[in-house]
Amino acid sequence: MLIPLKTEEPTIKAPVITWLLITANILVFVYQKITIMSNGMDLAMVYGAIPYELTRAVDMPPLSPYSPYLSLLTYMFLHGGIVHILGNMLFLNTFGPNLEDMMGHIKFLLFYVLCGLVSVLVYVLPNFSSVAPLVGASGAIAGVMGAHLRVLPGTRIRCLFFIFPISLPALVILVPWIVLQFYSVFTHAQSNIAWIAHIGGFIFGMFMVRKFRNRWFFKRKLEVIQ
């Protein structure tokens, strides 16, 4: 098992948006678990992205005090379990900082949210009658990963290979990852993982990253992206 831990590429500015996103996801996850323990209600059923609701503009019980379309944003901050959120936050912490450094804080946040929106739409289209809520930051993070592959494929990433620390180029991690997502879709892997949402976010991030790049790249990174 290969687990990415962090980038070895230093950043000029602190990745405050990446840190804030990680903090927000963790706080929401804790609150999500508290609500389950206190009254048995999972916020995923209220604020998760449910294709049936989104394609029919209805709100099924348990009812939300807001429009069901708000779930296009809120689903990104909900998770199915500790392994789910831990994996997502590790990937965000690994691939977010350098991309945020290149884009700037506000552009990075906008890019992250757009990747999450695209990924949920890609998921909803072929699953328009599903009543199962989609939750997780995976689609947005997949967009960050796709962008990272496009602009910083050679960045060294510190990883754990089982229990052994190793350093690998981002390319070596990201290409097998996206190949696995396609394989899982085409083989109809039986899982509650939204593989197609990952693919949608990844492709959107990879092809849209140039639209979000900062004018003031420092020289070495500018040479990589062009």
For the annotated catalytic residues, the residue numbers are 138, 198
The radius of gyration of the chain from alpha carbons, rounded to an integer in Å, stands at 18
Beta bridge partners of 156: 169
Q: Is 105 left (phi over 0), alpha (psi -120 to 50) or beta?
A: alpha
Cβ-Cβ contacts under 8 Å for 38 (sequence gap 6 or more): none
Residue 187 CB neighbour total at 10 angstroms = 9
Reported as half-sphere exposure (CB side, CA atoms, 13 A), residue 14 has a value of 3
Euclidean distance between the first and the last CA atom of the chain, given in angstroms as a whole number: 33
Q: How far apart are CA 210 and CA 217, in angstroms?
A: 12
CB 115 within 8 A of CB 92: no
